[in-house]
Structure 1
Amino acid sequence: MADTALLIVDLQSALLIGAHDAEGCLARVAELAGRARAAGVPVVYLRQRVDHPDIPAELLEIHPAVAPRPGDTVLEKDSADAFLGTPLDAVLRERGVRRVVVTGAATEYCVDSTSRSALSHGYDLVLVADGHTTPTRPADSPLPAAAQVLVHHNAVFATIVYPGRTIRVLPAAAVDFTAAPA
């Protein structure tokens, strides 16, 4: 659809080490990206700049399972919000995008911040329920388990209200790039 874009947030190899269901998430996002391209939907990659001397440069690249193809857009970012300090909004508006389909890592950081910012920038949102991931945590961590984080964020976005915006939380298999948004 001409008014939709697929956003793939921070699916870089280094950021996926130890992530919850990383392989499954990557497979679903790769399939979504293929369907988006086939439907003429722009695929936009957001890549977190990481300046850490112990991380090999090749691990900072987007994971090969979801690597950009010719015609895709890749934007660098420095914060959790992919709109902040990047040309993302201008790129989307130039293409007539009104709805973003969001995937990526990490759920409670960059996926959450980018999704909320998209809504604040006036875009309708589809959060791909099984298309985002976050790091697994040790059993003794005070933080919720990764699976709980995903369930929580899907539930929040399924119930949150932004006046004038449509928000849907859908599994990857239910995302239809060829139909008009409901």
Structure 2
Amino acid sequence: MPPASVLLVIDMQNATVAIAHRAAETVKVIAGLRERALAAGVPVVMIQDQGGGMDPGTDGWQIAPELAPDSDGLVVHKASPDSFLGTGLDAALKAVGATEVVVTGFATEMCVDTTARQALSHGYDVVLVADGHTTSVRPDSGAYASPDRSIAHHNEIFRNIRFPGRRVRVLPAAEVEFSSAP
């Protein structure tokens, strides 16, 4: 039986998209995945960060218009890099029968990485969309890796991470196949 997928879109809000590396390309990839998921009857969960300058109701806090959920779309609010911590995400995933999360969003080395690892700890298989996550624009110097290096690094980590009883895959958006819960 194929896994029951849910598409997670993490922190793709106006403030983060404004500072994101390859913002337009990443939004386009995620929007395409969202359309395909909805067409397949697969739930889409928007994760919306609040705090740290993204105060609820402000323009920067709003989900990017190209990705904004429908009125009945599921939105989970979080206050840390872990989309499961202190939120209803796990309960929402269980309620729709999810066994696999397809992970996209911002920022690769913080919220995307933390949420993907926590999904494994919560019993879900993970698909990290190789071209569906990004990080902030920054120079290729200093303590942080450049955006391209950070994205490549995390894709490689997830290609090689082993987690007992879980399936972890890194796929380009074009290869992601959605299946809904029976």
Place the TM-score, normalised by the shorter chain, in its bin. over 0.9
Instruction: Say if 1:144 and 1:69 are closer, same or farther in 2 by CA, change over 3 A.
Output: same
Q: Is the 8 A contact 2:5 2:180 kept in 1?
A: no
- Match of 2:60? 59
- Match of 1:4? 5
Deviations 1:24-68 (A, max 9, x none): 000000000000000000000110002538998112100011111
Instruction: Say if 1:14 and 1:56 are closer, same or farther in 2 by CA, change over 3 A.
Output: farther
| Cα distance in 1, alignment partners of residues 54 and 33 from structure 2 | 33
Report how far residue 138 of structure 1 moved: 2.3
Secondary structure of the structure 1 residue equivalent to 2:34: helix
- Match of 1:14? 15
Instruction: Say if 1:69 and 1:55 are closer, same or farther in 2 by CA, change over 3 A.
Output: closer
Task: Give the TM-score taking structure 1 as reference length.
Answer: 0.93
| Cα distance in 2, alignment partners of residues 114 and 167 from structure 1 | 13
Structure 1 segments unaligned to the other structure (5+ residues): none
| Cα distance in 2, alignment partners of residues 54 and 44 from structure 1 | 20
Task: Give the TM-score taking structure 2 as reference length.
Answer: 0.93
Q: Is the 8 A contact 1:2 1:40 kept in 2?
A: no
Report how far residue 177 of structure 1 moved: 1.1
- Give percent identity, aligned residues only: 47
| Cα distance in 2, alignment partners of residues 91 and 147 from structure 1 | 32
| Cα distance in 1, alignment partners of residues 129 and 25 from structure 2 | 13
| Cα distance in 2, alignment partners of residues 176 and 54 from structure 1 | 35
| Cα distance in 2, alignment partners of residues 99 and 143 from structure 1 | 30
Report how far residue 143 of structure 1 moved: 1.3
- Greater shift after overlay, 9-18 or 38-47? 9-18
Within a 5 Å distance, the mapping from 1:1-182 to structure 2 comes to 3-52=4-53, 57-178=58-179
Report how far residue 99 of structure 1 moved: 0.4
Deviations 1:147-175 (A, max 9, x none): 00000000000000000000000001110
User: RMSD between aligned alpha carbons?
Assistant: 2.1
